[in-house]
Structure 1
């Protein structure tokens, strides 16, 4: 495959326009058009279709665009790692994680690693599960940690690490504090909800669907676990929270649990890596070994 033509195709697909791609790349529009035709001829597939004054991708074009972006993201990742080796002699470790592993598990694993390898640079990006997987797929990070039951991506390896208990919590002194109620009764309360893309929000909606009750009424939406629990402690609403995050608030009598009849919730934490990729980095593999030793 002609990689130069593929790179041009990627820019055309990003901008939905041959002329805008030509302008961005500072080459002539006819030259881009010829490259697109040659690429389609080489592959034996139609990739682009006219749409008004622009273009749109065919299903084959959508697939190629997705894979091409990953290819060029890998190219950039290689260049970055070579730069790190040239400048410092060490690879940096790039990690993406959802909020729970990032705040409550990774710090102790990273502290143990840094005690043994103090010169290694480690960067962590915290985001929701959807964003974390995108970071991994596009070679922005070397590994990822998520809490998610299903909807696993076919290009990702999911290594199970542990289960975490999840509790429903309300402000301390709330009428439902320490009470056992049905899920339907609890859903009548205003909820503090996470942002779209959060696996906790998806899980709660799925739980309601399974039990054939309306989803929770969202009274407040916040982007992080700690922010959400602090809102509950301040006196508003209810939420589904990981026990590892809520337990200290309960001990300080700032929030209280609500027990749901016939429902106990445990959610899995996974270490995610790209499938069909053999990572030989000593930095990567040593950190994986520290995690496995910590939970064994």
Structure 2
């Protein structure tokens, strides 16, 4: 079917006038009439009954006008869908994230993004670093947000660093090492409360021991959640090695205390990871941009 002819017919039928259709389409009225005649000839079916200068739709013309109205309404919806996709107003975004960004960064950023892009579907899964990278590489997530060391950077992953934060040794304020400066060997003799094997921070603790040739600590209690581990330390038992993002308010309010260890500060890299060389969908690009701008402003304010 000649879609140009159908479009002309749709305008004439919906406006009830060849002249008004010509004005909307910015062409002459005789040109509209001529092209409608050609469209009728191509169809082999009359669209209009004509009585002098007046016209009415034939039964077929009325039926076709109804279908044309639906057709071009769908066309407008498709055009809007494409435009929304280009501007990240629609789509789906699946984020896999390690515990730290999933609990302390993404909620605020996702809420801000959702407020500006209500029809974008966002799903967030919390994984340890091993699982997060596996999901990203196997296309089960659009992006991964990671907190850990550069040693976990993979060749097939593109890395966008947002910022760094220090990892602290923390204890209960009543603990014998609270607010004291000790050697790494001394603190490693204490029982530790940590997340499960596979978490980035736990792996870095053991890597730190290996680097300084110190015997690794005993993991006395193990949790799948970071908050649970921190709250257990608050009760007075054990040491936790944890991001300052998680515990700095607890330290400030006296619910936890730092243990200062005589080694260079250990830092976390907070990064957004995507598959290397991939042409990212607009919704992913837009979310990454928001995260980078938000982290830039929050760090500037500290």
Write out aligned runs for 1:84-99 (5 A).
90-99=90-99
Q: 1:121 aligns to what SS in structure 2?
A: strand
Q: For the residues of structure 1 that align with 2:253 and 2:272, how far apart are their CA atoms?
A: 32
Q: For the residues of structure 2 that align with 1:116 and 1:140, how far apart are their CA atoms?
A: 25
Residues 12-34 of structure 1, C-alpha deviation per residue, up to 9 Å, x if partnerless? xxxxxxxxxxxxxxxxxxxxxxx
For this pair of structures, how many residues does the alignment match? 208
Aligned-pair CA distance for 1:110: 1.1
Q: 1:120 aligns to what SS in structure 2?
A: strand
Q: For the residues of structure 2 that align with 1:270 and 1:157, how far apart are their CA atoms?
A: 10
Q: For the residues of structure 1 that align with 2:136 and 2:226, how far apart are their CA atoms?
A: 22
Q: Is the 8 A contact 2:171 2:258 kept in 1?
A: yes
Aligned-pair CA distance for 1:249: 1.8
Write out aligned runs for 1:276-287 (5 A).
276-279=277-280, 281-287=281-287
Aligned-pair CA distance for 1:143: 0.2
Asked if 1:125 is matched to 2:125, the reply is yes
Aligned-pair CA distance for 1:267: 1.3
Aligned-pair CA distance for 1:252: 3.1
Q: For the residues of structure 2 that align with 1:151 and 1:271, how far apart are their CA atoms?
A: 13
Structure 2 equivalent of residue 145 of structure 1: 145
Worse-matched range after superposition: 244-253 or 187-196: 244-253
Write out aligned runs for 1:213-292 (5 A).
213-279=214-280, 281-292=281-292
Q: For the residues of structure 2 that align with 1:141 and 1:219, how far apart are their CA atoms?
A: 34
Worse-matched range after superposition: 92-101 or 103-112: 103-112
TM-score for both structures, normalised by structure 2: 0.66
Q: 2:152 aligns to what SS in structure 1?
A: coil
Q: For the residues of structure 2 that align with 1:198 and 1:243, how far apart are their CA atoms?
A: 16
Structure 2 equivalent of residue 183 of structure 1: 184
Q: 1:91 aligns to what SS in structure 2?
A: strand
Structure 2 equivalent of residue 204 of structure 1: 205
Aligned-pair CA distance for 1:215: 0.5
TM-score for both structures, normalised by structure 1: 0.68
Structure 2 equivalent of residue 112 of structure 1: 112
Structure 2 equivalent of residue 61 of structure 1: none
Residues 200-238 of structure 1, C-alpha deviation per residue, up to 9 Å, x if partnerless? 111000100111110111111111211110110122200
Q: For the residues of structure 2 that align with 1:247 and 1:292, how far apart are their CA atoms?
A: 22
Larger Rg: 2
Structure 2 equivalent of residue 68 of structure 1: none
Where in structure 1 are there 5+ consecutive unaligned residues? 1-84
Q: 2:177 aligns to what SS in structure 1?
A: coil
Q: 2:221 aligns to what SS in structure 1?
A: strand
Where in structure 2 are there 5+ consecutive unaligned residues? 1-84, 297-302
Over the aligned positions, Cα root-mean-square deviation in angstroms equals 1.5
Structure 2 equivalent of residue 295 of structure 1: 295
Aligned-pair CA distance for 1:107: 1.5
Aligned-pair CA distance for 1:282: 2.2
Q: For the residues of structure 2 that align with 1:218 and 1:202, how far apart are their CA atoms?
A: 12
Post-superposition, which runs of at least 4 consecutive aligned residues in structure 1 deviate over 6 A? none
Aligned-pair CA distance for 1:148: 2.5
